[in-house]
């Protein structure tokens, strides 16, 4: 039996049982046999969910880039580490070998050092999907600096909030980015953000679109000349297993985004382990995850997990619809991709288009298909299975979160039989529990409840940057001694899990995790808006879309409604980014509230979803009449 590489269902059960019975031996063996440590740990695990405090491989010393790059140089130096596929198919793809990646990362790391970046400093990375993004992430890790990647679709306000929260010293960005037929002025967004960011000392700018940008003397510099002049060797900074590797922000149901902190040792072990098993990666395979490195999926399964296994990982700059809806399949064909990992929203969007876009490409290289980010509906699952996988590639429906660092519940392809819409079984080391409304664990099968995890796994986020109390409140206070995921789930007759969706005020739109509170805050700043409430409703491509109920102030009452809708969405774009725009905006005279003044979102969710059958008892509301009015004027 191999702990590290599971190939059959029987083996999975054996390994799983061991991981639960003897978690420390299990993870200790995996860590010892498959990674390079400069010093071994004193303890595999120490944990206390009440504090909460979780430490894996305490006392161990390592550098994750040595594991992701250096140790492959002898045997895989000339193997391609990263295939970079540009936005336009007319531009040539880049094949970056492990040797070249080493050189690029070392040079970049030396540039960071020359700009005064040291171990523990925070560096904000705001880049499109160009090689510099992966390289800068690894360069930070090389010198022990903490990277905070901000998805380059976020607005200047969202960017400055994140820079200030982590007190970043540097921003790494580009002059602009290509996205399909559009270009985006990234440097302009950074300049705007930095008006409010006193901690930033320097800005490095990669050249991508060759646009005219403003360079602020003493702060901004073009990256390339610095790289050209840098030394191609940089000894890795040896860090503690529990030193922070990165901060990555995720939306919460309230207030500002949460900077989830991941540490080096456990994160490396778990992402590498799950990558190997979930994609059944073999030495000459080409693996492609279509996510952006700005999200956790990109961190764990474009950069760290694949590279720690010496894999070839594809990085795609563009979008699935450019130059046409066949782009994904053209890339699969061109690079002979073996494992393909994407989001249900992309599948649904592509499924709406002519099948010729798929059938004209040779997809015979594919062996495993993955799905992540939201529940995959049955129709999308079948379309993916029939047309992309030609019914011969298992689909791994992978459930996990920014906070979990790695995939938690997922089939192991060619081992776990799959069922559409089921994430199936927990991976080794993962101990799920379903909880009822009285905070008691629901045992047995054919049950549903709130999904918790009972025992730590190596890549669990250790804290929220600068706010450990919030970490405790959000994840460890709802249920005693459990990590609460915020998701609902059911367990079927054989113990398979199906994720049913968020049970809090987070809505997953096109696979993006959006808290409704920050969107409401953005809208409420509009001078004509008195109050607002945002809810999600089912959408056939995005999974969920956002519906806003808005009460206007007197000043807004006489204004043109369409213009107001545009302005409200503009306001959201400026504060958060276009991903958070509302599909529907209804102006209302009031919002259904409890007697204590709390908005009854449950009722609004039902109205927005056209599910009026069971609104529950509305007579206890402070203002029951408003419900009829809201229903009558609902936008279809
Ligand atoms: O609700 C779950 C949903 O996405 C949430 C986590 O979002 P985020 O932190 O942005 O990470 C997304 C990528 C890992 C979860 O709480 N989710 C993610 N994957 C699935 C899913 N829901 C159902 N099925 C999945 N496979």
- Average pLDDT estimate for 367-395: 97
Check pLDDT > 90 for residue 26.
yes
Residue 392 CB: number of other CB atoms within 10 A? 9
Atom of ligand 1 nearest to the CA of 506: 1
pLDDT score for 1: 60
Domain topology for 26-264+285-319+458-476:
Rossmann fold (3.40.50)
Atom index in ligand 1 nearest the CA of residue 376 equals 24
- Once rounded to an integer, what is the mean pLDDT over residues 343-369? 97
Tell me, using a 6 A CB cutoff, whether residue 300 lines ligand 1: no
578-589: buried (b, 16+ CB within 10 Å) or exposed (e) per residue? ebbbbbebbbbe
How many whole angstroms from 343 Cα to the centroid of ligand 1?
Answer: 10
Give the model confidence (pLDDT) of 398-454 as tens digits.
Answer: 999 999 999 999 999 999 999 999 999 999 999 999 999 899 999 999 999 999 999
Rounded Cα distance, 549 and 534, in Å? 6
Q: Is the CB of 338 under 6 A from ligand 1?
A: no
Q: pLDDT tens-digit profile of 41-76?
A: 999 999 999 999 999 999 999 999 999 999 999 999
- In ligand 1, the atom with minimum distance to the C-alpha of 513 is 10
- 104-113, 254-263, 577-586, range with the lowest pLDDT: 254-263
List, as own/partner pairs, every contact residues 406-409 make where C-beta atoms lie below 8 angstroms and the sequence separation is at least 24, other chains included: 406/267, 406/270, 406/271, 406/273, 406/274, 406/300, 406/305, 406/457, 406/459, 407/274, 407/278, 407/300, 407/301, 407/372, 408/432, 408/453, 408/457, 409/497, 409/499
- Probe residue for ligand 1, chosen from 275, 296, 499 as the CB with the greatest number of ligand atoms within 8 Å: 499
**459-501 tens-digit pLDDT:** 999 999 999 999 999 999 999 999 999 999 999 999 999 999 9
Write the residue with the smallest CA distance to atom 12 of ligand 1: 373
90/103 Cα distance (integer angstroms): 27
| Ligand 1 neighbourhood includes 16 CB (under 6 angstroms) | no
Distance from the alpha carbon of residue 360 to the mean position of ligand 1, in angstroms: 32
The average pLDDT across 247-275 equals: 93
Reported confidence tier of residue 3, pLDDT bands at 50, 70, 90:
confident
Higher pLDDT: 620 or 531? It is 531
Residue 514 pLDDT > 90, yes or no? yes
Could you tell me the pLDDT band of residue 613, with boundaries at 50, 70 and 90?
confident
Q: Is the pLDDT of residue 345 over 80?
A: yes
CB 368 within 8 A of CB 398: no
Nearest protein Cα to ligand 1, atom 26: 399
Query: What are the backbone angles phi and psi of residue 385, rounded to the nearest 5°?
Result: -65, -45
With contact defined as beta carbons under 8 Å apart, do 176 and 209 qualify? yes
Task: Assess whether the C-beta atom of 220 lies below 6 angstroms from ligand 1.
Answer: no
By alpha-carbon position, which residue is closest to atom 6 of ligand 1?
401
The predicted pLDDT at position 252 comes to 76
- Which pLDDT does position 194 carry in this prediction? 98
Q: Kindly state the average pLDDT of the residues 536-548.
A: 95
pLDDT, tens only, 557-609: 899 999 999 999 999 999 999 999 999 999 999 999 887 778 888 899 999 99
Peptide bond preceding 8: is omega within 30 degrees of 0, i.e. cis?
A: no
The per-residue pLDDT for 615 is 82
Residue nearest to atom 15 of ligand 1 (CA): 401
Distance 545 CA to ligand 1 centre (A): 16
Mean pLDDT, rounded, of the chain: 96
CA dihedral 522, 526, 529, 532 (to 10 degrees): -10
Give the whole-number percent of the chain exceeding pLDDT 90.
Answer: 92
Q: Do domains 26-264+285-319+458-476 and 506-632 have the same CATH topology?
A: no
pLDDT at position 254 over 80: no
CA of 245 to the centre of ligand 1 (A): 22
Could you tell me which CATH class the domain 506-632 is placed in?
A: alpha beta
Mutate which of 400, 450, 452 for ligand 1 pocket (most atoms within 8 A of beta carbon) = 400
Give me the pLDDT at residue 526, please: 95
Give the span between the Cα atoms of 307 and 66, in whole angstroms.
10
Q: Decide if pLDDT at 355 tops 70.
A: yes
Give the number of other CB atoms < 10 A from CB of residue 297: 24
Does residue 510's CB lie within 6 angstroms of at least one atom of ligand 1? no
Instruction: Enter the pTM of the model.
Output: 0.94
> Would you list the domain boundaries of the chain?
26-264+285-319+458-476, 506-632
């Amino acid at each position: 039996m191999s702990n590290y590489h599971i190939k059959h269902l029987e083996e999975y059960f054996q390994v799983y049982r061991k991981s639960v019975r003897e978690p420390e031996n299990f993870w200790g063996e995996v860590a010892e046999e498959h990674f390079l440590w400069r010093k071994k740990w004193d303890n595999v695990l120490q944990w206390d969910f009440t504090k909460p405090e979780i430490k894996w491989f305490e006392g161990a010393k390592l550098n994750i880039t040595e594991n992701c790059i250096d140790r492959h140089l002898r045997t895989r130096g000339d193997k391609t580490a990263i295939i970079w596929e540009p936005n336009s198919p007319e531009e040539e793809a880049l094949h970056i070998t492990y040797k070249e990646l080493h050189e690029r990362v070392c040079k970049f790391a030396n540039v960071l050092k020359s700009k005064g970046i040291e171990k523990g400093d925070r560096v904000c990375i705001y880049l499109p999907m160009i090689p510099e993004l992966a390289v800068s992430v690894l360069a930070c890790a090389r010198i022990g600096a903490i990277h905070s990647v901000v998805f380059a679709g976020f607005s200047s306000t969202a960017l400055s909030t994140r820079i200030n929260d982590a007190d970043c010293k540097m921003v790494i960005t580009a002059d602009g980015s290509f996205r399909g037929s559009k270009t985006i002025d990234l440097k302009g967004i950074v300049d705007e953000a930095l008006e409010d960011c006193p901690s930033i000392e320097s800005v490095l700018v990669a050249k991508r679109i060759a646009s005219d940008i403003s360079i602020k003397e003493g702060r901004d510099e073009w990256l390339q000349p610095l790289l050209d002049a840098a030394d191609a060797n940089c000894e890795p900074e040896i860090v503690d297993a529990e030193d922070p590797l990165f901060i990555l922000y995720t939306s919460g149901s309230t207030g500002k985004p949460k900077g989830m902190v991941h540490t080096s040792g456990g994160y490396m072990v778990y992402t590498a382990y799950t990558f190997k098993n979930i994609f059944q990666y073999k030495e000459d395979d080409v693996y492609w995850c279509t996510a952006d490195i700005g999200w956790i999926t990109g961190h764990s399964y474009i950069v760290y997990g694949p590279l720690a296994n010496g894999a070839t990982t594809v990085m795609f700059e563009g979008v699935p619809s450019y130059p046409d809806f066949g782009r994904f399949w053209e890339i699969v064909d061109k690079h002979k991709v073996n494992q393909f990992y994407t989001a249900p929203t992309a599948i649904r969007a592509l499924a709406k288009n002519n099948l010729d876009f798929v059938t004209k490409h040779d997809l015979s290289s594919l062996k495993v298909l993955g799905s992540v980010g939201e529940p995959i509906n049955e129709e999308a699952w079948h379309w993916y299975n029939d047309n992309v996988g030609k019914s011969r590639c298992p689909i791994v429906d992978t459930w996990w979160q920014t906070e979990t660092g790695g995939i938690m519940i997922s089939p192991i392809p060619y081992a776990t039989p799959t069922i559409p819409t089921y994430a199936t079984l927990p991976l080794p080391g993962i101990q799920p529990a379903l909880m009822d409304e009285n905070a008691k664990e629901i045992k047995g099968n054919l049950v549903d409840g709130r999904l918790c995890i009972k025992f730590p796994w190596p890549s669990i986020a250790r804290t929220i940057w600068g706010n450990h109390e919030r970490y405790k409140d959000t994840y460890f206070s709802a249920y005693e001694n459990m990590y609460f995921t915020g998701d609902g789930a059911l367990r079927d007759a054989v113990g398979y899990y199906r994720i049913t969706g968020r049970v809090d005020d987070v809505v997953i739109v096109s696979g993006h995790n959006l808290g409704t509170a920050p969107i409401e805050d953005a809208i409420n700043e509009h001078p004509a808006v008195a109050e607002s409430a945002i809810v999600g409703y089912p959408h056939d491509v995005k999974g969920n879309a956002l519906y806003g109920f808005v009460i206007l102030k007197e000043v807004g009452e006489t204004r043109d409604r369409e213009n107001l809708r545009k302005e409200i969405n503009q306001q959201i774009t400026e504060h958060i980014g276009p991903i958070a725009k509302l599909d529907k905006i209804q102006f209302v005279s009031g919002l259904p509230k409890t007697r204590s003044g709390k908005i009854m979102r449950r009722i609004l969710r039902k109205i927005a979803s056209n599910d009026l059958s069971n609104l529950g008892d509305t007579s206890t509301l402070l203002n029951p009449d408003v419900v009829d009015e809201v229903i009558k004027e609902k936008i279809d």
